Amino acid sequence: MDSTITETIRTYARAAQQGEKDLLRTLATIPAPSGHEQERASLVASWLREEGAREVEIDHASNVICHLAPKGATPDLRPLVVFAAHMDVVFPDVDALPVREEGGRMYAPGVGDDTANLAGLLMATKLLLQDEAALERATKGHDLLIVANSCEEGLGNLAGTRALFERYAERIERFYSFDLYLPQCISEAVGSERYEVEAHCQGGHSYHDFGRPNAIVELSGLVQELYETMPREGSDGTPITINAGTIEGGTSVNSIASRARLRFEFRSTSALALKEARSHFAGVVSRRGEALSHADDAPEAGLRVSTLGIRPGTGDVDQEELGRMSEATERIIREVTGEEPDPSPASTDANIPLSLGIPANTVGTVRGALLHTRDEWVDLASLEDGLRVILGLMLQ
């Protein structure tokens, strides 16, 4: 970028800090479990309209979508570049979230993942709404979609971004997601498959019926076998990770458990490795379920599997084009932070475009730690660097 644009970004990022902190503080108090982001969505949409955005909507998936185009552009014909950050947090709270500031840090559940990145995206959009020259530069050759999306976390299963691409996939040429921490720049998607396995058997009294199959024991045996036999890499050499996340069930300490549930996932960056893991998982569950049905008198005895969510990995994306996009992003990160970007793969909203062959980066724009805990924090001084990175990508 030329020196004039660089100075515009630096000056605005410095001047916008108090406004960004105030916005972050407001957003961070609003509860937003995956699938229940409506209150945050309403605030974000209202804020954008107050800042001058004319084309703002909340879609059926609770995504807030702000369409930016230069004056005179033909609607619905130009390609789109998406800049997104997710609104949801991992916590189920429905009451106001606690926020405190201490020692230059802001503490709140979900403050870094992803509320601070969302605040940065909104403040960058504010410059485009206020500065006609900046908007013209950012929309040269394409329109922008500024998206505060839903359902990135956990069992949200990327529903917000899926809905976005169901609507706009044919027009989107690049996708940027702001998530996680500086200096991350992710262009390889970690795919995952998540399942729930239910064990059913007759159960009975812990003393008088001792020896009957126990649903908890059956699932414990299943977990042990999966950990002992599940491949740790695919035939292509790509690593596979597994996790037994929850196991619950039973009636009382003196009852043989007749029902129990296990939640299990596996992950890999390779579609082939995921397919092989799925085949192994299905085979183990089928064999053990059949054995349980023969060993127990209950007509419904056995194991039942349901799919909780599937996040796709990287698909057939043009690696040269993706490489150019990532190199440009990494250059901006270096210029702003002086640090070498971290390209480690991750599971983010960018999984969806990457699986569809659309170049995408997930970029961290804050510094902090302890994500997915109630002690999560961000360094408020890092907001300036993050805003410079976002604007650099918009105006490059």
Q: The domain that contains 94 carries what CATH number?
A: 3.40.630.10
Q: Are residues 16 and 122 in the same domain?
A: yes
Q: Are residues 257 and 119 in the same domain?
A: no
Q: Are residues 358 and 385 in the same domain?
A: yes
What is the per-residue pLDDT across 90-144, written as a single tens digit (0 to 9) for each?
999 999 999 999 999 999 999 999 999 999 999 999 999 999 999 999 999 999 9
For CA atoms 204, 210, 216, 219, the dihedral sign is: negative
**Domain end: 254, 285, 311, which one?**
311
Interior angle at CA 380, CA 378 and CA 385, nearest 5: 100
Query: What pLDDT shows up at residue 75?
Result: 65
pTM score of the predicted model: 0.92
Query: What pLDDT shows up at residue 332?
Result: 97
**Domain end: 260, 280, 311, which one?**
311
Q: Where are the beta strands (DSSP E) in the chain?
A: 56-58, 64-68, 80-86, 100-102, 105-107, 143-149, 172-178, 185-186, 191-200, 204-205, 241-249, 255-256, 259-268, 302-311, 360-363, 368-369, 377-379
Its domain, for residue 272, covers 191-311
What is the per-residue pLDDT across 179-228, written as a single tens digit (0 to 9) for each?
999 999 999 999 999 999 999 999 999 999 999 999 999 999 999 999 99
Q: Are residues 256 and 353 in the same domain?
A: no
Q: In angstroms, rounded to a whole number, what is the distance separating the alpha carbons of residues 396 and 381?
A: 24
Q: Are residues 219 and 109 in the same domain?
A: no
Question: How many helices and strands, by DSSP H and E, does the chain display?
Answer: 11, 17
Q: Are residues 151 and 231 in the same domain?
A: no
Tens place of pLDDT for every residue, the chain, 396 residues? 677 889 999 999 999 999 999 999 999 999 999 999 999 999 999 999 999 999 999 999 999 999 999 887 766 679 999 999 999 999 999 999 999 999 999 999 999 999 999 999 999 999 999 999 999 999 999 999 999 999 999 899 999 999 999 999 999 999 999 999 999 999 999 999 999 999 999 999 999 999 999 999 999 999 999 999 999 999 999 999 999 999 999 999 999 999 999 999 999 999 999 999 999 999 999 999 999 999 998 889 999 999 999 999 999 999 999 999 999 999 999 999 999 999 999 999 999 999 999 999 999 999 999 999 999 999 999 999 999 999 999 999
Q: Please, how many CA atoms are within 13 Å of residue 82, restricted to the half-sphere of its CB? A: 33
Q: State both tokens at 168.
A: 């706009």
Q: Are residues 302 and 346 in the same domain?
A: no
Number of domains composing the chain: 2
- The CATH number assigned to the domain holding 224 equals 3.30.70.360
Q: Are residues 32 and 112 in the same domain?
A: yes
**Domain end: 273, 293, 311, which one?**
311
**CA of residue 43 relative to chain centroid, distance:** 21
Query: What pLDDT shows up at residue 3?
Result: 79
Q: Are residues 26 and 75 in the same domain?
A: yes
Which residue matches tokens 């105030």? 22
Q: Are residues 166 and 280 in the same domain?
A: no
Q: Are residues 97 and 183 in the same domain?
A: yes
What is the SS3 assignment for 105? Answer: strand
Q: Are residues 290 and 350 in the same domain?
A: no
